[in-house]
């Protein structure tokens, strides 16, 4: 049980770190940076996205792992804390977009993940992340830039992170199953 809690706090720390990392990346990391706009990375042939997408895709999965290890109350606290942190680390024009997108997408992730996770862990992670990443993409882009021009790049970039996490999720589920561990 103690190992489970420690693992949960590790996921929680990574989840929280994704927020400033995403905000920093959007202004500093990319193959090119648009004037008065985000730094972009390629996510598919001829499709670019603001670079922070990789951290947001990872945050959606980490949120699920925090809930699996620490429970609903910890994850609600993490979402609320993450929303505040998102507002504190975002640049002026991106504060509202960052906070609203983070809060809405993580709460949607929570709403989809919670009923599925006990019996369908991998399905829960994929389904909740899909809902969260689409909502995050639309809300963030619309509020930050008044445009959905990069919505497909956002969705694709975040989806890559979710897909890359599936082997880890599968291994975690196998370990839990072999130890007879049920989610909280």
First to last CA, the chain: 11
Burial of 28 (0-12, 13-18, 19+ CB in 10 A): exposed
Q: CA gyration radius for the chain?
A: 16
pLDDT value at 98 more than 90: no
High-pLDDT (> 90) share of the chain, % = 54
Residue 1's pLDDT is 66
Q: pTM for this structure?
A: 0.88
Task: Tell me, yes or no, whether 184 lies in a domain.
Answer: no
Task: Tell me, yes or no, whether 19 lies in a domain.
Answer: yes
Number of domains into which the chain is organized: 1
Contact, 18 vs 56, CB < 8 A? yes
Task: Tell me, yes or no, whether 58 lies in a domain.
Answer: yes
Q: Which two tokens stand for residue 49?
A: 């996205």
Query: In Å, how far are 16, 56, 182 from 20, measured between CA atoms?
Result: 8, 10, 32
Confidence of residue 138 (pLDDT cuts 50, 70, 90): very high
Range of the domain at 52: 2-178
């Amino acid at each position: 049980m103690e190992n489970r809690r420690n693992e949960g706090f590790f996921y929680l720390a990574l989840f929280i770190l994704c927020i400033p990392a995403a905000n920093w990346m959007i202004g500093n990391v990319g193959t090119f940076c648009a004037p008065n706009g985000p730094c972009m990375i390629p996510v598919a042939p001829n499709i670019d996205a603001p670079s922070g997408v990789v951290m947001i895709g990872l945050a959606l999965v980490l949120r699920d792992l925090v809930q699996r290890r620490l429970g609903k109350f910890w994850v609600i606290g993490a979402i609320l804390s993450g929303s505040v942190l998102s507002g504190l680390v975002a640049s002026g024009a991106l504060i509202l977009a960052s906070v609203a997108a983070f809060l809405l997408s993580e709460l949607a992730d929570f709403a989809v993940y919670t009923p599925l996770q006990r019996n369908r862990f991998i399905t829960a992670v994929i389904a909740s992340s899909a809902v969260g990443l689409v909502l995050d993409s639309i809300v963030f882009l619309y509020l930050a830039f008044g445009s959905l021009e990069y919505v497909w790049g956002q969705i694709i970039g975040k989806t890559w992170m979710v897909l890359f996490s599936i082997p880890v999720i599968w291994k975690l589920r196998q370990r839990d199953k072999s130890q007879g561990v049920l989610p909280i």
